[in-house]
Structure 1
Amino acid sequence: MDMEELLPERESAPQEAAGAVSLSGIFGLDGLVAAVTGGGSGIGLAAAQALAAAGASVVILDRAEVADEILMAIKGAVPVTALVADVCDEAAVDAAFDKIAHRYGHVDILVNNAGLAIRDAAVNLSLEAWNKVVAVNMTGVFLCARSAARHMIASKRGGAIINTASIMALSGGGLYPNISYQTTKGALVNMTRALAVEWAPHAIRVNAIAPTYVRTPFIAPLLAQPELMRRIEDMTPLRRIAEPHEISPAIVFLAGPGASMITGHTLPIDGGFLAQ
């Protein structure tokens, strides 16, 4: 008997296996609308660029006007616009998301990136300074998440929310006092878990990233201290701090279809800082 008679018949053209992996199936954001708070610089700007490159229409929310040249520099075949909104202002936040939903029909992705740090010893930190950090890092994140989720629920499309936490959310620090930042970022990690559980029935995934020190204007006062930066690098197994473009791919992944089973998770992007 010929061996070929023992083999099952095959179709002449190979069929794509069920669940076959493709880059567009993991990272593709075509047809989706993303809002990025604090998107005028640093991690937020890098996130806006990466989301646009993946196909999303991007709206940057910032408390100041975003220069036209910044918007033009964001490469993508989809619209990139900006709105002025203070994340601490409930009415302004709700109005901004209403505008996004009215213009595009839906809101699919929120990158909660706006943040504030007032670095001071706990015994010296004023209540006013404490409240400023809480207002941006906790209340602002909640207000934006709540407004985005309301539109996601109404559209019945689901969505993805990515909060920017920090390695300081998962560590006591020790390099310098930063109690209000560490406390609010730690709270953000648990806010992420709580919202992930509450909004899972609506197919809204909520995750967070926990970046290490990233070379942005946000840490300019630290970058101006060479000895401190050497200590930070020495504490990092990869022996360097991060660049904004090294943070944004994780945001795109968590926003996209490749992360469809990931929610309530905080992903450190830290060069091994927390592994020690």
Structure 2
Amino acid sequence: MKAYFDLKGRTAIITGCSTGLGVQMAKALANQGANIVALARRQDKIEAVANEIKEQFGVETLAVKCDITDTEAVKAAVKKVLDHFKRIDILINNAGTGAIAPAEDITDEQFSNEVNVDLFGTFKVAREVAKQAMIPQKYGRIINIASMYGLVGNKIAGSSPYHAAKGGVVNLTRALAAEWGKYGITVNAICPGYFYTPLTKETLDTPSFKAYADTVIPAERYGNEGELDAAAIFLASDNSAYVNGVMLPVDGGYTCV
């Protein structure tokens, strides 16, 4: 019997792996046998996550503190992972932030920070992982966590910097897929819809937002914990080898209407 999504022996870096969707996807890959590198800014959080995953799934884990907006820190983090595991097979670029305000009130600092973290930070990590590990080994799976907001606008909560940055991630994904496909590297993006995370819970729980969601999401609900897992596992696996430069919305149908 063929194990289509077996990731045993693979090493996966997940950025923003201190809370929320990053931790969920890290556990999903660990469940398939991948060794996990939890990468984020808060050492205590990522150590707790790494220890929990190791205990729960029996895979090897590593906690690496890194600010993805710091180029030298990213270089050092990737080197640390390579020194430990000798290779990097999977990268999930999940780290991000979100500024919510009417576009006319967004500050330069808010816009700059959003692009610096969500777009430029994603590029910095992808660039370094490709350069140090995936191009030399002629293999890699890069999964950028964009957003359905990278594909469309919204009328409920002004977040123009987030739309711009995630839209950038969408086309960055295509550009990297086109450049690195010849090295056996696939670069794809998952575009999540509304999921509960520490960043979104307060907004999603407001009555006005729930009413809006019922109107614009064909599924008439938010995404449940674990509903991104299968998409991440598929794109991380060998069986997605001929899937490259794809944007996969996991949004309950938001972007189809």
TM-score by length of structure 1 reads 0.88
**1:153 Cα offset (Å):** 3.9
1:217 aligns with 2:198: yes
1:250 aligns with 2:231: yes
RMSD between aligned residues:
1.4
**1:157 Cα offset (Å):** 3.8
Alignment of 1:30-109 (within 5 A): 30-65=8-43, 66=45, 68-74=47-53, 75-109=56-90
Structure 2 residues without counterparts, runs of 5 or longer: none
Structure 1 residues without counterparts, runs of 5 or longer: 1-20
1:82-127 CA-partner distances (Å, limit 9, x unpaired): 1110010001111000000111101111000001111111111111
2:143 maps to what in 1? 162
1:52-85 CA-partner distances (Å, limit 9, x unpaired): 1111110011011225443333232211221110
The AA in structure 2 aligned to 1:141 is T
**1:154 Cα offset (Å):** 5.0
The worse-fitting range, judged by mean Cα deviation, of 58-67 and 39-48 is 58-67
Give 4+ residue runs of structure 1 displaced > 2 Å after superposition.
Answer: 67-75, 151-155
Identity %: 34
**1:224 Cα offset (Å):** 3.8
2:186 maps to what in 1? 205
1:116 maps to what in 2? 97
Do 1:50 and 1:252's aligned partners in 2 also have CA atoms closer than 8 Å?
yes
Which structure is larger by alpha-carbon Rg, 1 or 2?
A: 1
* Distance change (3 Å), C-alpha of 1:162 and 1:183: same
CA distance in structure 2 between the partners assigned to 1:155 and 1:104 by the alignment = 15
Do 1:108 and 1:157's aligned partners in 2 also have CA atoms closer than 8 Å?
no
The worse-fitting range, judged by mean Cα deviation, of 134-143 and 233-242 is 233-242
